[in-house]
Amino acid sequence: MIEQIPVLLVVLPIVGGAIPLVASLVSERAGWPVATLTLVVQAGLAGLLAWTVSTSGTVSYAVGGFAAPYGIELVVDGLSGAVAVLVAVVSLGVLVYARQAGPHSGPFYGLYLLLVAGLTGMTVTGDVFNLYVFLEITGLAAYGLVASGRDASAAVAALKYLIIGTVGASLYLLGIGYLLAATGTLNMADLAEKLGSMAAYDSTLVLTGFGLMVGGLTVKVALFPLHTWQPDAYANAPDTVSAFISALVSTVSAYALARLLFSVFTVEFLAAVPTARWALVGLACVSIIAGSALAVSQDSVQRMLAYSSVSQFGLVVAGFAIATPLAVVGATVHLLGHAVMKGGLFAATGIIERKTGATTVNGYAGMGSRVPVSAFAFAVLSLAMVGVPPAVGFVGKWYIVLGAVNAENWPVVAVLLASTLLTLAYFARLVERLYFAEPTIHAEPDEAPVTDGSGQAVSFGMVAVVVVAAALAVALTAAVPELQRVLEETLPPLLNQ
Amino acid sequence: MFELLNSHYNYFAVMLLLGIGLYMLIESRNLVKKVIGMNIFQTGIFLFFITLAFRAGGNPPIIKDGGGPYVSPLPHVLILTAIVVGVSLTAVALALIIRIYAEYGTLDEDKLKQLYYD
């Protein structure tokens, strides 16, 4: 039974996603209960899977009964188990938010579950081509969700996202072609063996493959020069969708990048080709600084949060590229923590906008007393993102910096430490406005916010989601030692050092 | 040079398609042309895979008497999948373009930017 779970995690949301499409022909409100039921089961299965992985090691499943190097293999180790749980839990949480806030149509929930299926597929797959297919499923669902906003500007943002995202995924596909030419295999574990023995690490084929695959994925992760789709997509999508995709889409792409680095190219490749490591670390550092600088200069809060993601993912990728055990654990912690924090922040901006009409940094002035609970959660999440000690944002950054110090990578240490100051620069400004500035918006929002029936703009569930995200941002710190143990047990390359 | 062109013409064709596609994606101001460029770019990648699978003197990978060396079926299967993905992406892109045209009445990127930021 246990070895069937990886495939169930992918099949379940696809099947569950088809039901709202059909059911919406009968009843418009059928989407939400079906999606909730599916994701509750999904979260239970993911939890069971992660627990199995943490107690008895890696779980793998041969799709269709074809053995590993020829067939598609689904593999779940500590890292993918943790990400699978994150995907299930966050999508369930955002669903609670969506009940009041989101588009209520059946197709919306169909796409939503399709996106969950794509993200979970990217997480559990052990095959580079299968990863491409799930990357595109994720992409297609995400483009559709972004376009589900009421304004046509959402369609423009979605088209931009589609074109840039497709180029990224296509580059990744081209990279697969190079690796296939070099080794004749697509299975990750098999590739890891054959790279370095069958094809030298510094052969042109392998290097080009690495460049194209990593380049393609960094488009999806939205590192600095390749991030241009992200702010438009996050700012124009409906609140539910921005919370969802900001929490998960880039996160799972960053996970895929880590999977590529550690399970396909392995740490030996990074050691054998220092240029590749430096290029990646350099890209990450540029991303940290440029993302923060752009975030500081934004007026719209949602765009600021989007640019903040560019910077935070620079931090995560830097951790992965440093590739010492501590740095990798730190990057993983920050990856998971960032998903919870950024999702919570976007959800909070949605609530604040509905209640007060404030969308800009100046508009947030004095709103601390108008929406006390959400504003407090927003402040806690902001400080967690900056890295104030008990929060999970601190632990992640601390481990990454320790890893960089261990690797004696001094320029990177400097950038990583500076990144905290830079994060403070844009979040502290916002928290200060929230609590210590004179309000600039006095009236209630002019037009009644979209309520879809119940006559209430913000439900208890929406606020609860934000508060739970804030609580998790602090409480997740307690789970870090366990995560570290699981990662060190199940990620083989980490043990080799 | 001419010999290289003669023996590797398929790779040159791939590079040409990739180049044309990417150039259209970046340079063209018309959104429909951008989508066409995206398709040309992807076609280049498809041909790259098909060309990888080729083997001089190989037969189609259908088992029959005498068989002999086969061309690799794997890239064909992969590309079949990738083509399906490409078609669905194009469909979504065109649907978005219809929506944009209905709302703004133009598909010119520069004009759209003006409308978009007003």
Higher pLDDT, A331 or B65: A331
CA separation, residue A147 to residues A108, A158, A352 (Å) = 10, 5, 22
Domain boundaries, position B46 = 1-117
- Judge whether A73 lies within some domain: no
- Mean pLDDT, to the nearest integer, of A5-25? 86
Residue B50 in contact with partner chain A when CB distance is under 8 A: no
Structure confidence by residue, pLDDT tens digits, A291-336: 998 888 888 888 899 999 999 999 999 999 888 888 888 999 999 9
Please report the pLDDT score of residue A452 as a whole number. 46
Structure confidence by residue, pLDDT tens digits, A215-271: 999 999 888 888 888 888 888 888 888 889 888 999 999 999 999 988 888 888 888
CB contact under 8 A, B96 and A162: yes
**CA–CA gap between residue A199 and residue A185 (Å, rounded):** 12
Cα-Cα-Cα-Cα torsion A306, A307, A312, A313, nearest 10 degrees, comes to 80
Residue B111 has pLDDT above 70, yes or no: yes
* A10-19 as b/e: b if 16+ CB within 10 A: bebbbebbeb
Please report the pLDDT score of residue B66 as a whole number. 61
- Judge whether A210 lies within some domain: no
- Judge whether A53 lies within some domain: no
- Judge whether A342 lies within some domain: yes
Residue A188 has pLDDT above 60, yes or no: yes
CB contact under 8 A, B116 and A129: no
Is residue A121 within 8 A of residue A130, CB to CB? The reply is yes
- Judge whether A373 lies within some domain: yes
CA separation, residue A292 to residues A157, A230, A311, A434 (Å) = 22, 14, 6, 20
Apex A332 CA angle, A129 and A75, nearest 5: 35
| A166: chain B residues, CB-CB within 8 Å | 38, 42, 89
Please report the pLDDT score of residue A41 as a whole number. 92
- Judge whether A292 lies within some domain: yes
Q: How many domains does chain B have?
A: 1
CA separation, residue A71 to residues A65, A180, A183 (Å) = 8, 15, 16
Cα-Cα-Cα-Cα torsion A308, A310, A312, A313, nearest 10 degrees, comes to 160
- Mean pLDDT, to the nearest integer, of A65-73? 82
CB contact under 8 A, B92 and A163: no
Is residue B53 within 8 A of residue B77, CB to CB? The reply is no
CA distance A111 to chain B (A): 13
Chain A residue whose CA is closest to B52: A181
- Judge whether A245 lies within some domain: no
**% of chain A beyond a pLDDT of 90:** 26
- Mean pLDDT, to the nearest integer, of B42-48? 93
Structure confidence by residue, pLDDT tens digits, A208-226: 999 999 999 999 988 888 8
Structure confidence by residue, pLDDT tens digits, A78-88: 888 899 999 99
Domain boundaries, position A410 = 273-442+456-496
Please report the pLDDT score of residue B92 as a whole number. 92
Average pLDDT score, chain A? 86
**CA–CA gap between residue A471 and residue A360 (Å, rounded):** 25
In a mutagenesis test of the B interface, which of A131, A164, A173 is the best target, namely the one with the most B β-carbons within 10 Å? A173
- Mean pLDDT, to the nearest integer, of A111-138? 92
Interface of B with A in 53-72 (CB under 8 A): none
In a mutagenesis test of the B interface, which of A132, A174, A190 is the best target, namely the one with the most B β-carbons within 10 Å? A174
Average pLDDT score, chain B? 86
Higher pLDDT, A398 or A200: A398
DSSP tag of A28: G
CA distance A71 to chain B (A): 11
Chain B residue whose CA is closest to A174: B45
Query: The domain spanning residue B108 has which CATH number?
Result: 1.10.287.3510
pTM: 0.91
| A219: chain B residues, CB-CB within 8 Å | none
- Judge whether A12 lies within some domain: no
Please report the pLDDT score of residue A444 as a whole number. 60
- Three-class SS of residue B72? coil
Q: How many domains does chain A have?
A: 1
Antiparallel, parallel or unpaired: β A73-76 and A59-62: antiparallel
- Mean pLDDT, to the nearest integer, of A116-143? 92
DSSP A329-355: HHHHHHHHHHHHHHHHHHHHHHHHHHH
Structure confidence by residue, pLDDT tens digits, A329-355: 899 999 999 999 999 999 998 888 888
CB contact under 8 A, B89 and A156: no
**CA–CA gap between residue A311 and residue A314 (Å, rounded):** 5
Is residue A491 within 8 A of residue A81, CB to CB? The reply is no
What residues contact residue B8 under an 8 Å CB cut-off, 6+ apart? Answer: none
Q: Which amino acid is at B3?
A: E
| B85: chain A residues, CB-CB within 8 Å | 133, 136, 140
**Which residue carries 């809060």 as its tokens?**
A301
Please report the pLDDT score of residue A451 as a whole number. 45
CB contact under 8 A, B31 and A166: no
Please report which confidence band the pLDDT of residue A494 belongs to, taking 50, 70 and 90 as the band edges: low
Residue B104 in contact with partner chain A when CB distance is under 8 A: yes
Please report which confidence band the pLDDT of residue B117 belongs to, taking 50, 70 and 90 as the band edges: low
